[in-house]
Every structure is written in structure tokens, then in C-alpha cells.
């Protein structure tokens, strides 16, 4: 494939070193109430103390249920939303301290790809105009001739013909539009691409093509990816390491192989147990863990371990009072569970869980407290016989 022309960039950190180093990142959205007098009635704790590193050249997959804060984490890292607390280092620079021109220049190195390529591409702009826009914004356009060459080379790199330049987004299929979204990021020669659900809007057959393209581009251009997805199969395929988020926090992190072979956090175990296994014998023999209730509101997260209202392994002590730290259990495998060793060793067993209702924020005295236990719900399903 064609190499993109290289523009001056700060000396990169060596492969394997952290390119992104996030510590205790928080993004809290204020909940505003009142017509005449604007008052803050509470906060949505969308991201609430996430620490992780993404190494140069790797793909880090971030998974979790809808609403757990994956997109907000990505946007907070790139400062597309303003973090409330914590630190986000990018190639040795604290992103939270950057302003104006410095931030704008750094943004070229950190690009984002979105889930829905159609809504992220302006339907009134030709592909030429969409790709040129970024070059102009970052003073990389140069002459029409050099820009034209860059545009054509970038399209070739994402598998599209140069004739695409004259067309408009609606003239392409979903997969081709995502290729254009990738080209728009790639043309700026970023170090990091945050891909937010990059294939979830695409047909399954097209998903594999786009994932393979991302793989190829990573090798060719030395890219680092943070891939956000709820589809565990996609994340497994593409990621070197995976982080699992639950209600604004990271609950487990490991190499992709380790995580899928030996999930240690009760939440990850439940997620994994819901993924069908192709081997019918293994599928029939394995135990499925059903999670009771819905994801609690991030405006009202449960005290202690945020997973305790749904955890089939929940214990009498610590679980509902102390928030567990993410700690290394085996080399490279971090888990935020007080009882992870005992869960791993099988010393404590999953049990039935009752759904707990939490008073919604703003409901008056007792906001956020568990008020009622409404039903007994099975915590685990026995192996199929």
C-alpha cells in the first residue's frame, strides 16, 4: 500500500511504552433543574475514576453495557468533553493542561472514528471537501497538487478509488462510508485513533472487512487504537488488551487472551457467559450467569462496589461499603473485586440475587438508597442437560 507523506511530529515514544496514561479520570455531568433559577440537582457520574494505559502500537478494547461510560471516557480523554478530575497524559504531555493552539495541534495526533458514518459525514460536502477540511484546519493542505496527492493516497490506503473524491456521502454503502470516516482520521497522520463502535452499524459481512482494514492500517502506519465496543467478539478479535467498564469504572483489565480464557471479575464472568460458544458440547455444558436487574443509574451509583446490587458473588462484608480498587492479581491482569482470589479459586460460589430498587436522584429524602427488594431472581443457570 501507499505510504502517506510524513509531516514533522514530536519524537514518538518507543513501541510498547505508554502513549496514553490516564489516571483517575472523572467526567461528571451536572443535572440542571429549575426554570427561573438554574440549580444543579446532582451529577451523572458517567466516568468516575478510570485509570488505564494504552501502549504505543497496541489496540486497547474497552467494553461494557450501554450507558457504562465508554464513549464519555473516549471523549474525555480527547477533551471533546471537559473532564471533572484526574489526569490524561498523551505521549508525555498532560492533555488537561493544554489550551488554545497547543490543544488544537495535539488534537491532530488523536483522531476519532464514529459509529454512524452517515451522521458523522456532512451530506452537503463532497469527499474531497471532507478530507481537505482537516488538512486545512491543521495547516497541512499545502498546494492543491500536494493536497490532491495526499487525498488520493489516503483513499487508496482505505481501499477506495480516487474517483470517490468527487462524490457525496449518500453515494456510498455503509462500509464505504466508514472507510471515508477512517480516511478522514488517517489523513492527519494521527498517533492514536479512538474508534467508538466502529463496526456496530454495519452488516456482519462488512464488519470483518472494516476490522481487517483497521488491522492493516495499524501495521502500515504504526497506529495505536482505543476501540470502544459492546460486542465482545469484535473486541476479542481486534484487541491486544481489553478493559471492562461497569457504571463509570474499570472493573477488569487483561490481555485479550487472558480475559477471555479466565475472566476473574464477577461482572466479566456474567458478560462472557452470555456469549455463545461455537462448540455445541461446550455450549451445553457451561454455566450461564444471569444478571439480575438493569444497570443502575450513573446519577445514583450504588455505594461500595458498584456491582454489588447485581453480583451473584456478593459477600456480607465490604461489598456494599468499600469501593474495590483495581489491583493486579496475576501479571498484567487487574481486577476490582474484594473477593477476586476467592472467586478465582472457587472458594465462594455464585448465589441468587434479589433485585434492589434504588431511589432515583431528586426523589426526595433518601435519594440513592436501596429502598426495596422486589423479587428473587436466579443468579445462575445450571448447565444445560
User: Is the CB of residue 250 less than 8 Å from the CB of residue 243?
Assistant: yes
Residue 64 vs 266, nearer CB to ligand ATP = 64
Among 107, 314, 333, 344, binds ligand SF4 (CB under 6 A): 314
Q: What does 311 interact with, of ligand SF4, Mg ion, ligand ATP, none (CB < 5 to 8 A by kind)?
A: ligand SF4
Q: What does 317 interact with, of ligand ATP, ligand SF4, Mg ion, none (CB < 5 to 8 A by kind)?
A: none
Rg, Å, the chain Cα set = 23
Q: Alpha carbon of 366 to those of 39, 137, 371: distances in Å? A: 20, 50, 8
Among 73, 307, 356, 380, binds ligand SF4 (CB under 6 A): 307
Nearest-approach distance from CB 197 to ligand SF4, in angstroms: 26
Residue 70 vs 108, nearer CB to ligand ATP = 70
- Rounded Cα–Cα distance for residues 306 and 311 (Å): 9
Phi/psi at 180 (5° precision): -65, -40
Q: Alpha carbon of 24 to those of 48, 83, 84, 130: distances in Å? A: 7, 10, 10, 36
Residue 69 vs 86, nearer CB to ligand ATP = 69
Q: What does 68 interact with, of Mg ion, ligand SF4, ligand ATP, none (CB < 5 to 8 A by kind)?
A: ligand ATP
H helix runs in 161-313, sequence order:
174-186, 204-221, 232-238, 256-261, 266-273, 280-285
User: Is the CB of residue 268 less than 8 Å from the CB of residue 307?
Assistant: no
Q: Kindly state the helix (H) or strand (E) to which residue 60 belongs, with its residue range.
A: strand 59-63
User: Is the CB of residue 361 less than 8 Å from the CB of residue 297?
Assistant: yes
Nearest-approach distance from CB 178 to ligand ATP, in angstroms: 17
Nearest-approach distance from CB 124 to ligand SF4, in angstroms: 49
Among 147, 232, 270, 337, binds ligand SF4 (CB under 6 A): 337
SS3 category, 124: coil
Binding to ligand SF4 by residue 324, rule CB under 6 A? yes
Binding to ligand SF4 by residue 338, rule CB under 6 A? yes
Q: What does 62 interact with, of Mg ion, ligand ATP, ligand SF4, none (CB < 5 to 8 A by kind)?
A: none
Nearest-approach distance from CB 263 to ligand SF4, in angstroms: 12
Binding to Mg ion by residue 207, rule CB under 5 A? no
Q: What does 307 interact with, of Mg ion, ligand ATP, ligand SF4, none (CB < 5 to 8 A by kind)?
A: ligand SF4
Binding to ligand SF4 by residue 114, rule CB under 6 A? no
Residues 257-296 that bind ligand SF4 (CB under 6 A): 266
Neighbours of 16 (CB within 10 A): 10
- Rounded Cα–Cα distance for residues 207 and 191 (Å): 23
- Among the listed residues 288, 282, 324, the one whose alpha carbon sits nearest the alpha carbon of residue 307: 324
Among 59, 71, 154, 380, binds Mg ion (CB under 5 A): 71
| Separate counts of helices (H) and strands (E) for the chain | 12, 16
Residue 105 vs 327, nearer CB to ligand SF4 = 327
- Rounded Cα–Cα distance for residues 264 and 262 (Å): 6
Bridge partners (DSSP) listed for residue 55: 18
Q: What does 259 interact with, of Mg ion, ligand SF4, ligand ATP, none (CB < 5 to 8 A by kind)?
A: none
Residue 234 vs 311, nearer CB to ligand SF4 = 311
What is the binding site for ligand ATP (CB under 6 A)? 29, 44, 46, 64, 66-72, 230, 298
Residues 296-325 that bind Mg ion (CB under 5 A): none
Binding site for ligand SF4 (CB under 6 A): 266, 305, 307-308, 311, 313-315, 319, 324, 337-339
Amino acid at each position: 500500500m501507499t505510504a502517506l507523506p510524513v509531516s514533522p511530529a514530536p519524537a514518538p515514544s518507543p513501541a510498547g511504552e505508554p502513549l496514553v496514561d490516564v489516571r483517575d479520570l472523572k467526567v461528571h455531568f451536572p443535572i440542571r433543574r429549575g426554570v427561573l433559577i438554574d440549580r444543579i440537582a446532582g451529577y451523572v457520574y458517567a466516568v468516575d475514576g478510570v485509570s488505564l494505559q494504552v501502549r504505543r502500537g497496541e489496540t486497547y478494547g474497552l467494553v461494557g453495557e450501554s450507558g457504562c461510560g465508554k464513549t464519555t471516557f473516549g471523549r474525555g480523554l480527547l477533551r471533546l468533553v471537559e473532564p471533572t478530575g484526574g489526569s490524561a497524559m498523551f505521549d508525555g504531555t498532560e492533555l488537561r493542561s493544554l489550551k488554545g493552539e497547543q490543544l488544537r495541534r495535539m488534537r491532530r495526533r488523536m483522531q476519532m472514528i464514529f459509529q454512524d458514518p452517515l451522521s458523522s459525514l456532512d451530506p452537503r460536502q463532497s469527499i474531497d471537501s471532507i478530507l481537505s477540511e482537516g488538512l486545512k484546519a491543521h495547516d497541512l493542505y499545502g498546494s492543491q497538487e500536494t493536497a490532491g496527492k495526499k487525498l488520493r493516497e489516503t483513499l487508496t490506503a482505505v481501499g477506495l478509488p480516487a474517483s470517490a473524491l468527487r462524490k457525496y456521502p449518500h453515494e456510498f454503502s455503509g462500509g464505504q462510508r466508514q472507510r471515508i470516516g477512517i480516511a478522514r482520521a488517517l489523513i492527519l497522520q494521527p498517533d492514536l485513533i479512538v474508534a467508538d463502535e466502529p463496526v456496530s452499524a454495519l452488516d456482519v459481512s462488512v464488519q470483518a472487512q472494516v476490522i481487517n482494514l483497521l488491522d492493516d492500517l495499524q501495521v502500515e502506519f504504526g497506529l495505536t487504537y482505543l476501540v470502544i465496543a459492546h460486542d465482545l467478539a469484535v473486541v476479542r478479535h481486534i484487541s491486544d488488551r481489553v478493559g471492562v467498564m461497569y457504571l463509570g469504572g474499570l472493573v477488569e483489565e487483561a490481555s485479550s487472551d487472558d480475559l477471555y480464557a479466565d475472566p476473574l471479575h464477577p461482572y466479566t464472568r456474567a458478560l462472557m457467559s452470555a456469549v455463545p460458544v461455537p462448540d455445541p458440547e461446550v455450549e451445553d455444558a457451561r454455566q450461564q450467569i444471569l444478571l439480575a436487574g438493569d444497570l443502575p443509574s450513573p446519577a445514583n451509583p450504588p455505594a461500595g462496589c458498584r456491582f454489588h446490587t447485581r453480583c451473584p458473588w456478593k459477600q456480607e462484608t465490604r461489598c456494599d461499603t468499600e469501593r474495590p480498587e483495581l489491583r493486579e492479581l496475576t501479571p498484567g491482569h487487574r481486577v476490582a473485586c474484594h473477593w477476586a482470589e476467592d472467586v478465582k479459586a472457587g472458594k465462594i460460589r455464585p448465589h441468587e440475587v434479589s433485585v434492589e430498587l434504588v431511589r432515583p436522584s431528586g426523589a426526595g429524602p433518601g435519594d440513592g438508597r436501596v429502598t426495596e427488594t422486589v423479587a428473587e431472581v436466579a443468579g445462575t443457570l445450571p448447565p444445560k442437560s
